[in-house]
Amino acid sequence: MISLATRRIVFFVLSPLFASCGAQQNIAPAGSATVKQGFATPSVPPSAPKAAFAESRYEFGEVISGSVVEHDFALVNQGAAPMMIQQVSMTPPLLVTQMPHAVAPGAQGRIHFKLDTADLDGKFEGTILVSLNDPAQPQTRLAFSGRVIPPIELTPRSAFFVAGQRGLGNRTSIEIVNHESEPLRIKSVQHSVERFTTQLETMKPGQRYRLTLALKPEGPGGRAASPVVISTSSKRMPVLNVGANTCLYERVHTFPDIVEFGKLRASDAGSVAMTLMIHQEGGTDFKVHLSTDIPGLSLKSERAPKGDQYQAEVTLNLQKIPVGPIKGSIFIDTNDARFPRVTVPVNGQIVER
């Protein structure tokens, strides 16, 4: 993911002696007037400056987190008057480290940018806005982009997500990819063994490993989030913490397994509806009857064509439900001999306004 810092824009007003610093700066040349940006004027004087950038986008490709990326954007003044660089704004953590204040007619100036990727992860899309005294092009937008990867990458995702039916279980895998120059060794994989087991395979020694999580078919039911701790030989990333999000459901189950209305204003409660799916795995003649102990809760269900599931609409009746907490259950009576009744908790709160 890209750092939250990329959601802000840092502005620099530049002087002939530009000071590079990570903090926000506003430095105006002595005696300079405030520059107002706007649309290009209809007619350009023949003695005006004329800006031409050699490129408007720089793609730095793929780099390891912690690398410093640097690049020059070349600006040529094709006009007959000096080109003044009046202001530059950029997406953090991009920084300007060197640039001219003015570019003479026919000359070229270079704006040097630096990007420290230590706090970045994933795709980086940086924007640079350069404000000039060119009446035909008062502002130029440049792009600075690429992908930042960790020294050790977990792919296709950085956590396990797996669900399976009791008696059958399920499995899923992630790969551990080494982007460092030194070979990687996996020292150990540690986790609770109550719900699942893991198996490590070497795909390419020192470079790529596959870790498979197998959900136990007869383990504890329901959802759980457990840590998997991987110890490595990497000095930069000696420990990899991977989340294991598992769910072992019964032959008859619902989604979601809890109906959460949250906090509702009394005026809005009547317009809120929740959908509850009721499944019988492998069923063909599944039948249910729904009831509830919550006054003002309405239930309406429809059977799927295959006969293996129902879709229920859960709504609140504003005239019957009082202001205050909503707490109770939906009871699902079925024709499944092993699961004759399934109970779904219902929570929420109705407030005055």
Question: Under a CB-based contact definition with an 8 Å cutoff, are residues 89 and 12 in contact?
Answer: yes
Is a pLDDT exceeding 70 seen at residue 209?
Answer: yes
Last residue of a domain, one of 103, 127, 149: 149
Across 71-84, average pLDDT: 96
Are 292 and 206 found together in one domain? no
pLDDT tens sequence across 243-300: 999 999 999 999 999 999 998 887 776 678 899 999 999 999 999 999 999 988 999 9
pLDDT band per the 50, 70, 90 thresholds, residue 1? very low
pLDDT at 4: 37
Are 16 and 110 found together in one domain? yes
pLDDT at 8: 41
Cα-trace Rg, the chain: 31
pLDDT band per the 50, 70, 90 thresholds, residue 322? confident
Are 142 and 9 found together in one domain? yes
pTM value is: 0.67
Nearest-CA neighbor of 72 among 91, 93, 97? Answer: 97
Are 237 and 266 found together in one domain? no
Measured distance CA(250)–CA(280) in Å, rounded: 9
Are 11 and 145 found together in one domain? yes
Measured distance CA(217)–CA(221) in Å, rounded: 9
Are 35 and 21 found together in one domain? yes
C-alpha dihedral sign at 130, 131, 132, 136: positive
Q: Which residue has the higher pLDDT, 17 or 314?
A: 314
Are 14 and 137 found together in one domain? yes
Is a pLDDT exceeding 80 seen at residue 105?
Answer: yes
Across 92-101, average pLDDT: 94
Last residue of a domain, one of 134, 149, 164: 149
CATH number at residue 162: 2.60.40.10
Is a pLDDT exceeding 70 seen at residue 44?
Answer: no
Helix%, strand%, coil% for the chain, nearest 5 = 0, 55, 40
Are 22 and 126 found together in one domain? yes
Is a pLDDT exceeding 70 seen at residue 11?
Answer: no
Average pLDDT in the chain: 87
Domain range spanning residue 46? 4-149
